[in-house]
Amino acid sequence: MGLRSKLAQYKSVYKRAGWKGLAKELGPVAAISLFLFFLIKGLIWLAIFYGGYEAISS
């Protein structure tokens, strides 16, 4: 089972049952993993936008 299929499974359970359902069905590790995935994804986007802003403003 690849990373993409696991993330797809986590997302589908999250959409259907929310955080509590995700933790109940797949365990707390799955909920923490999905949370960290979206946190890191958001931080990367912030870094890209900040870097673009710095490149334009200087």
Q: What is the pLDDT of residues 7-56, one digit of tens each?
A: 888 788 888 988 788 788 878 887 788 789 889 999 999 988 888 777 77
Cα separation values, 41 from 16, 21, 24, 56, 58, Å: 22, 23, 24, 23, 26
pTM over 0.95: no
Within the chain, how many helices (H) and strands (E) appear? 2, 0
| pLDDT at site 26 | 79
pLDDT of 1 strictly over 70:
no
Pick the more confident residue, 5 or 41: 41
Domain count, the chain: 1
48: containing domain: 3-57
pLDDT of residue 5: 85
Distance CA 18, CA 36 (A): 16
Q: Return the pLDDT at 44.
A: 93
